Amino acid sequence: MKLNDHIYFYPEQGMLDCNTYVVKDKLVLVVDVGLGNNLPLLIKAMEKDGIDPREIDIIANTHLHIDHTWANEELKKKGKAKIKITQIQKENYHISIRQTSLFFGLEPIGFKEDGPLDSPIDLGNIKIEIISSPGHSPESVCFYMPENKALICGDLVFDHNTGRSDLPGGNGEQLKKSIEKIAELDTELLLPGHMGIVSGKKKINENFEFLRTNVFRWL
């Protein structure tokens, strides 16, 4: 589903899947590919929007939990895309790929990274800032597009909820600090890793206030 001239949203398709976002400019970036079994559905939806999986340039992740990274390698095989990760993601690969999968009784599914992901990501006209946002996992990051006032926030914050902080490497105090950091950004399109998007500055600010009042004390 096309959200604006550059950003596309593909909602999760059930358990062990996540929301996927495509940012299309001179280069094409995919964030959080999701569940391997659902990749054919994702590709079909992207092609309906005119996005050729063979023309994807970069595959990136907000964090490395299995529900966000499972299909990384499978999508890469479709064309020329490179899987890129940040330095902090590289340092915490073992925790979030292996330990978190085993926490849920799942066999870890890894991937081979093709290079570093540095900030800002230059797609041509669009520049994307990478913002460290630990708490749900130590390597979590957000992708912020100032021109579009859009934030891809992974499992940091949802519509009226936050990501868990009890998984390997998680930390409730860090999660709250990360949320307060992104709350200061000029955002009109909040794009979480699960559930629906939050659109409009007023609704986004109300969502942050709801979290402070009703969720923070449980983290």
The pLDDT, as a whole number, for residue 14 is: 85
The pLDDT, as a whole number, for residue 103 is: 86
Tell me the whole-structure pTM to 2 decimals.
0.96
Q: Is residue 35 part of a domain?
A: yes
CATH number of the domain that residue 159 is part of: 3.60.15.10
Asked if 23 and 120 count as a contact pair (C-beta separation under 8 A), the reply is: no
Show pLDDT as tens, one digit a residue, over the chain (219 residues).
999 999 999 999 988 899 999 999 999 999 999 998 999 999 999 999 999 999 999 999 999 999 999 999 999 999 999 999 999 999 999 999 999 988 888 888 999 999 999 999 999 999 999 999 999 999 999 999 999 999 999 999 999 999 999 999 999 999 999 999 999 999 999 999 999 999 999 999 999 999 999 999 998
Q: Is residue 1 part of a domain?
A: no
Q: Greatest CA separation found in the chain?
A: 46
HSE-up (13 A, CA, CB side) for residue 192? 19
In whole angstroms, give the CA distance from residue 90 to residue 26: 27
The pLDDT, as a whole number, for residue 13 is: 92
Type of residue found at 189: L
Q: Is residue 37 part of a domain?
A: yes
Q: Is residue 36 part of a domain?
A: yes
Cβ-in-10-Å burial (0-12, 13-18, 19+) of 164 comes to middle
Q: Is residue 47 part of a domain?
A: yes
The pLDDT, as a whole number, for residue 195 is: 96
Which ranges of the chain does DSSP label H, i.e. alpha helix? 39-48, 66-69, 72-76, 87-91, 93, 100-103, 172-183, 201-214
* Phi, psi of 24, deg, nearest 5: -115, 120
Q: Is residue 198 part of a domain?
A: yes
The length of the chain, given as a count of residues: 219
Q: Is residue 2 part of a domain?
A: no
In whole angstroms, give the CA distance from residue 99 to residue 118: 25
Q: What domain count does the chain have?
A: 1
In whole angstroms, give the CA distance from residue 204 to residue 105: 35
In whole angstroms, give the CA distance from residue 118 to residue 184: 22
Structure tokens at 149: 């006032």
Query: What is the span of the domain harbouring residue 199?
Result: 7-218
For the chain, strand residue ranges (E) read 7-10, 20-24, 28-31, 58-60, 82-85, 115-116, 121-122, 127-132, 141-145, 150-154, 157-158, 161-162, 189-192, 198-199
